[in-house]
Amino acid sequence: MNKKSEHSGHRQRMKKRFIDYGGETFETHEVLEMLLYYIFPRVDTNPIAHKLLDHFGSLANLIDAPFNALLDAGMTENTAAFIKLLPEVFSRYSYERFLCDNKVLTETAVKDMMITKYIGKNTESVYLLLLSPAKQMVFSNFITHGTNTHVDIDVIKICDYALRYKARYAFIAHNHPSGVMLPSKADIIATARLNEALSLIEVELLNHFIVSGNSVLGLKDVKSLFKSVADYEKSGLDTVYEKN
């Protein structure tokens, strides 16, 4: 048996195994190997999969890696673009499943939604969710993108969207790619300004979420993380929500 036919037979066995038993029977390198079939139709992708996992340390690190980091690892632009498409697909799939499962938007459901929206996001971004008086979604999208350490919360833009969509309630979120969950002083000040501005147009800011990985922290609920009431009051958060 020549090398080409042997390799073709291996691919067919892998595909049949996946169809018959699903991906849970696969090792991580086998999942990546099979995924790469659709980029390299005539190449043995097993050593490529091993090399990429050795370089990035895990499949998650590979998928989350910046585009330029993938190019530096030896990928072509086409391959890197394919890899970066994956978190977008995951995010959209999770979001659409969320919409199917959550006709009424509770705060818990919104937290779960925010996790799906930030899949694969390596820079800070602001997400705005607006609800009607009946708490039905009227707008949901990213509105501002920043760097890996900072993003501006554009109060004027958010108020403009709220008026345009005749919203009564609002949630906002932004992510901390660093993994630090506590809000910064700038986060607190921006939330206070936004809360005040929205109240002038009769829109209630229900919460401002900070997202990092699979964790979500609402600024409205952050009081328990402070060591004392004095520290909480010093942060300024008491003036954002508790005096409404």
Number of domains forming the structure of the chain: 2
pLDDT band at 8 (very low <50, low <70, confident <90, very high): low
List C-alpha distances in Å: 199 to 19, 130, 171, 196. 54, 14, 13, 5
Are 83 and 196 found together in one domain?
A: no
Residue type, 76: T
Mean of pLDDT values over 89-96: 80
Are 193 and 225 found together in one domain?
A: yes
| Alpha-carbon gap, residue 235 to 217, rounded angstroms | 16
| Residues forming a β-bridge with 214 | none
Residue 96 in domain: no
Backbone angles phi, psi at 218, to 5 degrees: -90, 130
Residue 35 in domain: yes
Task: Give Cα 57 distance to the centre of its chain.
Answer: 21
Task: Give Cα 121 distance to the centre of its chain.
Answer: 5
Are 8 and 127 found together in one domain?
A: no
pLDDT in tens, 209-237: 999 988 999 988 765 444 444 555 555 55
Residue 94 in domain: no
Name the percent of the chain lying above pLDDT 90. Answer: 52
Are 14 and 51 found together in one domain?
A: yes
Tally of CB atoms within 10 A around 74: 12
Backbone angles phi, psi at 144, to 5 degrees: -145, 140
Chosen domain end from 89, 111, 127:
89
* Residue 9 clears pLDDT 80, i.e. is over it: yes
- Range with the poorest average pLDDT among 3-7, 51-55, 224-228: 224-228
Are 211 and 232 found together in one domain?
A: yes
Residue 222 in domain: yes
Contacts of residue 72, defined as CB under 8 A and 6 or more positions apart, other chains included, come to none
Are 228 and 135 found together in one domain?
A: yes
Are 66 and 124 found together in one domain?
A: no
pLDDT score for 134: 86
- Regarding beta strands 169-175 and 204-212, do their DSSP bridges make them parallel or antiparallel, or are they unpaired? parallel
Are 51 and 157 found together in one domain?
A: no
Residue 218 in domain: yes
CATH number assigned to the domain comprising residue 203: 3.40.140.10
Are 85 and 133 found together in one domain?
A: no
Residue 182 in domain: yes
- DSSP code of 105? -
Are 110 and 214 found together in one domain?
A: yes
Are 126 and 220 found together in one domain?
A: yes
- Token pair, residue 132, equals 């009607």
Largest CA distance in the chain: 78
Chosen domain end from 43, 58, 89:
89
Backbone angles phi, psi at 147, to 5 degrees: -100, -170
* Residue 156 clears pLDDT 90, i.e. is over it: yes
Chosen domain end from 56, 89, 122:
89
| Alpha-carbon gap, residue 50 to 33, rounded angstroms | 8
* Residue 146 clears pLDDT 90, i.e. is over it: yes
How many Cα atoms are found within 13 Å in the side-chain-facing hemisphere of 145? 6
Are 229 and 128 found together in one domain?
A: yes
Residue 44 in domain: yes
Determine the structural domain holding residue 40 and report its residue range.
Answer: 3-89
